[in-house]
């Protein structure tokens, strides 16, 4: 694989939340990188002061990283080196449909829709129950696309602490371009062709992390957390295989690895939701406090998919009861513990 120089590579990151900003910082090591922001004042602050105070306060960003609110400037940036360019979508699932449709139109108008595009969001779209790649295919004709996932907190990526991620795509161009841009001295990139498995693992680990937060908040101990992670992985694997994912994916970075981090790490928003629920806070109270977590958005659609495929997912069902049916967490735990005994492999 040819390793392009930083002067050759062009990376446009769309979305200046915590994860978009972190990936823009990481891609700046190997690539000329431009971060597109929804708000002009945010773009100006990042370019001038090299920080993103709203999402990553007190963390310095690379001096070479520039940001813009101007879509045409972003298009021109890509057009200067279209054959060495990469687009990273750093937006949540709820914004995927609108964002992809809008930028596909802009890029198509300039004959730039062949540029590889990858996304980082995790979950099912609430209105349709679609995975991110299904959303992308429903509103665009991007020929080269993929998903980037793995156990990672944005804050640690900006601090250049070691991290390993997986790029999943059916396109060699996508996998090689992503590796050229992001594989560096602190970020290791692995490659996969299992888009479905990677996306299912990313969506469902958030739900299990909520369950682990609830258990920890109730003081149920380390044994309970280990059981939830293990049986949660079994649920993820069952649904993932039924949807067409590969078994080995769920034992890798985007399955077990991401699950362990999100279920145990103090920076996990999904875990924070579980801890708050265990303290008696309602979902509306948690949302009003400013905590947003993809596991909340995805739980219902995940359970619906499981029912459609006749997949048993008791942990996901319990989380849905707590989130949406006003189940006391202790009652949901009791129902999980009193389920009929069965062989572990089932």
SS3 190: strand
Annotation: binding site: 15-20, 38-39, 55, 122, 150, 152, 154, 205, 258, 268-270, 294
Q: Is residue 295 within 8 Å of 206, Cβ to Cβ?
A: yes
Query: What is the number of other CB atoms lying within 10 angstroms of the CB of residue 215?
Result: 24
Annotation: binding site for substrate: 122, 269-270
Nearest to 75 by CA among 144, 9, 12, 139: 12
Q: Which two tokens stand for residue 115?
A: 């540029």
Annotation: binding site for NAD(+): 15-20, 154, 269
One DSSP character per residue, 113-135 reads TTS-EEE---S--TTT---HHHH
Place of tokens 């957390």: 225
| Catalytic pick among 155, 205, 279, 342 | 205
Q: Is residue 59 within 8 Å of 49, Cβ to Cβ?
A: no
CA-based torsion, 5, 171, 135, 137: positive or negative: positive
Place of tokens 């156990």: 151
Q: Which neighbouring-strand residues pair with 145?
A: 117
Annotation: binding site for NADPH: 18-19, 38-39, 55, 122, 154, 269, 294
Q: Which two tokens stand for residue 75?
A: 């298009």
Place of tokens 């649920």: 235
One DSSP character per residue, 260-325 reads HHHHH-TT-HHHHHHHHHHTT--HHHHHHTT---HHHHHHHHHHHHHHHTT---HHHHHHHHHHHS
Query: What is the number of other CB atoms lying within 10 angstroms of the CB of residue 208?
Result: 27
Q: Is residue 319 within 8 Å of 210, Cβ to Cβ?
A: yes
Length of the chain: 346
Q: Which two tokens stand for residue 205?
A: 């680990």
In the residue annotation, 155 being an active-site residue is answered as no
Chain centroid to Cα 273, Å, comes to 17
Which residues carry out catalysis? 205
């Amino acid at each position: 694989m040819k390793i392009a120089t930083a002067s050759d590579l062009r990376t446009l990151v769309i979305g200046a939340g915590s994860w978009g900003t972190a990936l823009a910082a990481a891609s700046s090591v190997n690539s000329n990188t431009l971060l597109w922001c929804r708000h002009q004042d945010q773009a100006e602050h990042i370019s001038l002061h090299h920080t993103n105070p709203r999402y990553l306060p007190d963390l310095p960003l690379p001096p070479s990283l520039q940001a813009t609110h101007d879509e045409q400037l972003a298009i021109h940036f890509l057009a200067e080196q279209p054959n060495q360019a990469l687009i990273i979508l750093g937006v949540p699932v709820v914004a995927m449909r609108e964002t992809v449709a809008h930028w596909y139109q802009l890029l198509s108008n300039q004959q730039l829709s062949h540029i590889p595009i990858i996304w980082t969001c995790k979950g099912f779209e609430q209105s349709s129950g679609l995975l991110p790649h299904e959303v992308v295919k429903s509103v665009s004709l991007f020929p080269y696309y993929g998903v980037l996932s793995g156990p990672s907190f944005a804050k640690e990526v900006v601090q250049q602490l070691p991290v390993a991620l997986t790029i999943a795509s059916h396109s060699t161009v996508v996998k090689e371009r992503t590796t050229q841009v992001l594989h560096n001295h602190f970020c290791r990139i692995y490659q996969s062709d299992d888009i479905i498995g990677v996306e299912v693992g990313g969506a469902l680990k958030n739900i299990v992390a909520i369950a682990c937060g609830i258990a920890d908040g109730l003081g149920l101990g380390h044994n309970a957390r280990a059981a939830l992670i293990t049986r949660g992985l079994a649920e993820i694997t069952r649904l993932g295989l039924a949807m067409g994912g590969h078994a080995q994916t769920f034992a890798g970075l985007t399955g077990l690895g991401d699950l362990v981090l999100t279920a145990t790490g103090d920076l996990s928003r999904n875990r924070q939701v579980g801890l708050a629920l265990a303290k008696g806070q309602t979902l509306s109270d948690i949302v009003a406090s400013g905590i947003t977590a993809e596991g909340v958005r995805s739980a219902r659609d995940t359970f619906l998919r499981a029912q459609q495929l006749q997949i048993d997912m008791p942990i996901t069902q319990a989380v849905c009861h707590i989130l949406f049916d006003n189940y006391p967490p202790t009652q949901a735990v009791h129902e999980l513990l009193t389920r009929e005994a069965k062989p572990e492999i089932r």
